Amino acid sequence: MRLFNRRSLALLVVASAAACSDRSPPTSPETGTPTPIGPTPVGVYQIAVTGIGTDHMVSTVTSPAPATDGLHPTLTVGGAGIVFEQVGSSSFSEGARGQGGQRFVSFTYRVRNGTGTPLNNLTMLLVSRAGTVGGTALSSLKRFDGAAADTTIARLVVPTGAAALGNDLVSMQALYPDVIQALTEAEVAAIPAQAGVTNIFPVGYVVRSKNSSANRALPATADPNQFDGLLTLSFRLPLQATSAQDVFSFFFQVLAVTDDETRLTESVEESQDTAAVRRLRDLAGSLGATTVTVLNGSPAMDAAVPDYPGQRQICSARVAGTAGSPLTTIVAPGAYSGLMILRPGESIDPCAAYFRAGTAARPATNVQFTVTVKAVDRYGNVKTAQADTVHLVQVGPPATLGPAAALVAGSASQTLTYTDYGNSVLDVQGRRLHGTLPITVAGVVRTWTAGAGTTDWHTALNWSPAAVPMSLDSVLVPVAAPLFPAIAANVQIGGVTVENAATISLNAFDMTASANVTAGATGGITNTSGRLFLAGTAKTVEGKLPVLRVTGTYSLTANVTSRAPIQVDAGRLTVSALRLQADSN
């Protein structure tokens, strides 16, 4: 008897009318809060996959006989059942054998509801049953020669969105939305227990409407040619050391459920494709989705990115093991697919937007800036065994770049020094892959340290970061400094803060500030004949100051004592209820 057929007509049991009625959420007696309602079970069935890695991939769907299925007692056989017919398949590989390389596989079926009962939001959740490989939904893994494949592969078969490699054979595109579904552990725990089902995983596949983006309804039909639904089964599995050891066939165990709630899930592959994100956002609106789940690394977790309707995150959804002891998650390691640039203060976070967390340090002009480069897969994992040599390329303001470096444990440092402000795009390049990061080079706060042992404003070692302040930088002169600065030429900076009793000496030179100016009531900014130009817009000023020239718009935040004369040239100085005093010396 042939085990696999190109077309499969599978009879699924469906819920009785009583089982499909509206359900009220039970209330927890301990907390008084509603307990999550899980989807309604419809039936258990098995998906057989064969021909993996060949041009003749076939998938069939079978429903175990009711007598041996061990279904929930309320489930009954409905009409002619649900019919699945394979209409397409695809496969591609990414990465190298022995280095995390994987094969992505996808099957698409058309779906007909011959149960006699309308169905909505039909979803196939992975489950384990008797005979499945420990902690997984897979069973009977075979190689091409019919021999048993390594069973440890089972826990590394991971659901994905429908994806394909781009024309560059590096980037990945998500082909269409509404393929996988992720639930919380509480939601799957609320699904009524099914005899014969030992474990329900919070991940599965959605049957979407073939005819409408406004719903996922599957109307009951007696027409053998009316197929109203589409189901795509997509997954990735590791390449073995040789093709002879690769998995050729296996079985999936799945629980079909319907759901009163319209939920969508953004796959990890979708989250990294801007066009795919737009399609999912549009679909969420047209379906009237009440919940949209995002997974690890989703840009939707960035506060600057608009949320999906009912957005929530499920980080590291379980695909093998139990809720209390997961063996594998949906972000199991994949192939080396890119290079990630981390600024000082940043780290890789599996749950954060773009897998990036922390507060990034800003580069300062004329000071070496060091970034960390990580070899990563598409799922936020560092490829610690990856061999590669990386170097920086920069587009933007002038900069001096450091030498190339080899990866060590999947990581390398790269340095550069900007000599002017502007918008920079860093591109770190390996032998085949690369990664980019935009960086804005703007002003920073430079603190006076007198580290060179002089009062010379124009000596880099007297500042931290160790470079002379430029036009967008702000300066801080602390009272604890052993010496205070004096300028020996006209300077233009951003803001100025001089702590009480500390000083800046202008001597005979001018200082132009474009941001807030704060000085103490004693010490402050002094001069012989030099002037302080206030050139900012909607900024503040206070403290003891030299001769003032106001060309911008400033307001007092405390009393100002200035040497006369105070001159306002096409600007404005708002005093309000404070005191502005001009002294003659």
Nearest Cα to 436, choosing from 389, 507, 496, 373?
Answer: 373
Q: What is the pLDDT of residue 19?
A: 32
Q: Is residue 140 part of a domain?
A: yes
Please provide the DSSP assignment of 76-96 as one string: EE-TTEEEEEEEEEEEEEES-
Q: Does 572 lie in the same domain as 454?
A: yes
Burial class of residue 180 (count of CB atoms within 10 Å of its CB; 0-12, 13-18, 19+) = buried
Q: Does 490 lie in the same domain as 435?
A: no
Domain that holds residue 380: 338-441
Please provide the DSSP assignment of 446-501 as one string: EEE--TTSS-BTT-GGGEESSS---TT-EEEE-TT-SS--B-SS-EEES-EEE-TT
Query: Mean of the pLDDT values across residues 487-511?
Result: 98
Instruction: Write a three-state SS string for 238-286.
Output: ECCCCHHHCCCEEEEEEEEEECCCCEEEECHHHHCCHHHHHHHHHHHHH
Residue 185's SS3 state is: helix
125 close to 255: Cβ distance less than 8 angstroms: yes
Q: Does 238 lie in the same domain as 109?
A: yes
Q: Does 431 lie in the same domain as 450?
A: no
Q: Is residue 452 part of a domain?
A: yes
pLDDT tens per residue across span 12-68: 333 333 333 334 444 444 444 445 556 888 888 899 999 999 999 999 887 754 433
Q: Scanning the structure block, which residue is given the tokens 């002879």? A: 244
pLDDT tens per residue across span 298-330: 999 999 999 999 999 999 999 999 999 999 999
Q: How far apart are the first and last CA of the chain?
A: 108
- Residue 198 region by backbone torsions, left for phi larger than 0, else alpha for psi between -120 and 50, else beta: alpha
pTM for this structure?
Answer: 0.86
Domain boundary, last residue among 232, 260, 288: 260
Q: Does 380 lie in the same domain as 488?
A: no
Q: Does 256 lie in the same domain as 107?
A: yes
Q: Percentage of the chain surpassing pLDDT 70?
A: 90
Q: Is residue 321 part of a domain?
A: no
Q: What is the pLDDT of residue 81?
A: 81
126 close to 319: Cβ distance less than 8 angstroms: yes
CA distance 504 to 519: 9
Q: How far is CA 94 from CA 90, 142, 432, 433, 474, in A?
A: 14, 22, 13, 13, 49
CA distance 214 to 97: 43
Supply 229's token pair: 């639904």
Q: Is residue 303 part of a domain?
A: no
Taking the mean position of all CA atoms in its chain, how far away is CA 513? 40
The CATH number assigned to the domain holding 394 equals 2.60.40.10
Q: Does 250 lie in the same domain as 136?
A: yes
Q: What is the pLDDT of residue 38?
A: 64
Domain boundary, last residue among 399, 422, 441: 441
pLDDT tens per residue across span 255-304: 999 999 999 999 999 999 999 999 999 999 999 999 999 999 999 999 99
Q: Is residue 139 part of a domain?
A: yes
Q: Is residue 12 part of a domain?
A: no
pLDDT tens per residue across span 144-198: 999 999 999 999 999 999 999 988 888 899 999 999 999 999 999 999 988 889 9
Supply 213's token pair: 């983006």
Instruction: Write a three-state SS string for 281-325.
Output: HHHHHHHCCCEEEECCCCHHHCCCCCCCCCEEECCCCEEEECCCC
CA distance 511 to 483: 19
Domain boundary, last residue among 389, 413, 441: 441
Q: Does 511 lie in the same domain as 376?
A: no
Q: What is the pLDDT of residue 494?
A: 98
pLDDT tens per residue across span 413-436: 999 999 999 999 999 999 999 999
Q: Is residue 333 part of a domain?
A: no
Q: Does 457 lie in the same domain as 414?
A: no
Q: Does 452 lie in the same domain as 423?
A: no
What are the φ and ψ backbone dihedral angles of 266, each rounded to 5 degrees?
-85, 115
Residue 417's SS3 state is: strand
Q: Does 570 lie in the same domain as 453?
A: yes
Domain count along the chain: 3
Q: Is residue 130 part of a domain?
A: yes
Q: Does 189 lie in the same domain as 62?
A: yes
What mean pLDDT is reported for the chain?
Answer: 90
| HSE-up of residue 107 (Cα within 13 Å, Cβ side) | 26
